[in-house]
Amino acid sequence: MIIEELKAMVEIDSTSGREDRFAQYIVDQLSLPGGELKKQPVEGEIVNLFYSWGIPEIIFCTHLDTVPPFIAPTIDGDRLYGRGACDAKGQIVAAINVCRELYSEGESNFGLLLLAGEEVGSKGAKVANRLIEGCRFVIVGEPTENKLIKAGKGVELYEIEIAGKSAHSGYPHLGENAIERMGEFLNRLANIKFPHDPLLGETTYNIGELSSPNPYNVISNFLSFKLYFRTTFASHPLVEELLQGIAQPHTTIKVKHKEMPMRFHYIEGFDAGVVAYGCDAPSLTNLGEPLLYGPGSITTAHTNGEYIDINEIKRAVKDLKKIYKTLKSSKDE
């Protein structure tokens, strides 16, 4: 049943902005006995789905949308390939089956939250955070290789602008090349020794959206690019100051976004890990303590070869029930 449910989900294109048809499929076609559904409007026809059994103190949560492009599902043995296989439709299948089993065992006061727009700024999570009250724990589903995550890296996004002076490319000495200045800036950046974090490891960065509008036969007088850091507890407070320290007068650094590294609630006895990717958890601050767990690997998510092993989903159902019951019992301690 798991593989059939997952295949049907992956057959639906739910790339960000198109989650509405997928959400309606879940409402119309999937059985969630005992669950009371509330739709939370997010944007246009896009909604979150919030199922509750009683008054939820523990919520299973993951997201409806996927990154583009849509990739239809294929099955090879116990593996299902396709866009969203592990990020995050495999998480949805696991969470739905957990909720079914908990209800059949007489459990109550739990919920299932399926969020829109995770891949484009956690739009749905920000809505849910305003609407849901009384929750003690939120178990966020992302591909963690069936590990219960202890911490995740933060992010810092900067826009870098570098000015130069135009000149004929045959006479470069008459200009000031913004591209060469970018090279010098990046060399200085490469020489920065960010502190090692004992839990999250090293700080990394990536460059994207590079733009220099000069014609090929004119020395570049301006360029811009985005600089995206994955930060640790040790480096997060230092990055902006260090960047300003290597900037020359012709370089402008604009802060676009910052998100702190995050600690997750951990339960002894589970395989542990840390992650270097973002999720909805930082936008769910009103839903209690966050946990991060799920089947599948982030190393295949967002790739043309994205897949999940059905046995990982089956293990996740068992693990998530154990996590739930451990959290529930902690209330009485």
- Token pair recorded at residue 303: 């790739």
- Indicate the burial class of 118 (C-beta count within 10 angstroms; 0-12, 13-18, 19 or more): buried
Q: Are 59 and 327 in contact (CB under 8 A)?
A: no
**Cα→Cα distances 62→138, 191, 247, 267, 331, Å:** 10, 39, 40, 20, 24
d(CA 290, CA 297): 20
Please state whether the predicted TM-score (pTM) of the whole model is above 0.85.
yes
pLDDT digits (tens, 9 = 90+) for 176-186: 999 999 999 99
Angle formed at CA 325 by CA 320 and CA 330, multiple of 5 degrees: 125
Judged by DSSP in three states, 113 sits in strand
Enclosing H/E stretch for 304: none
pLDDT digits (tens, 9 = 90+) for 64-84: 999 999 999 999 999 999 999
- pLDDT at position 99: 98
d(CA 132, CA 286): 7
**pLDDT of 332 above 70:** no
Amino acid at 314: K
Mean pLDDT, residues 317-326 taken together: 98
**pLDDT of 159 above 80:** yes
- Token pair recorded at residue 34: 């005992």
The edge-to-edge listing of strands for the beta sheet with 79-81 is 74-76, 79-81, 307-309
**pLDDT of 289 above 80:** yes
**Cα→Cα distances 15→19, 83, 209, Å:** 7, 9, 21
Give backbone dihedrals phi and psi of 89, rounded to 5 degrees, phi first.
-75, -30
User: What sign does the dihedral 173-174-175-181 (CA atoms) show?
Assistant: positive
Mean pLDDT, residues 230-240 taken together: 98
Parallel, antiparallel, or unpaired: how do β-strands 148-152 and 272-275 relate?
A: parallel
Length of the chain equals: 333
**pLDDT of 333 above 60:** no
**pLDDT of 171 above 60:** yes
d(CA 46, CA 159): 30
Q: Are 75 and 7 in contact (CB under 8 A)?
A: yes
Mean pLDDT, residues 210-220 taken together: 97
pLDDT digits (tens, 9 = 90+) for 248-274: 999 999 999 999 999 999 999 999 999
Domains in the chain, CATH or no CATH each: 2-152+262-330 (3.40.630.10), 154-259 (3.30.70.360)
- Token pair recorded at residue 229: 């850091």
Give backbone dihedrals phi and psi of 229, rounded to 5 degrees, phi first.
-100, 145
Closest CA to 72 of 307, 254, 325: 307
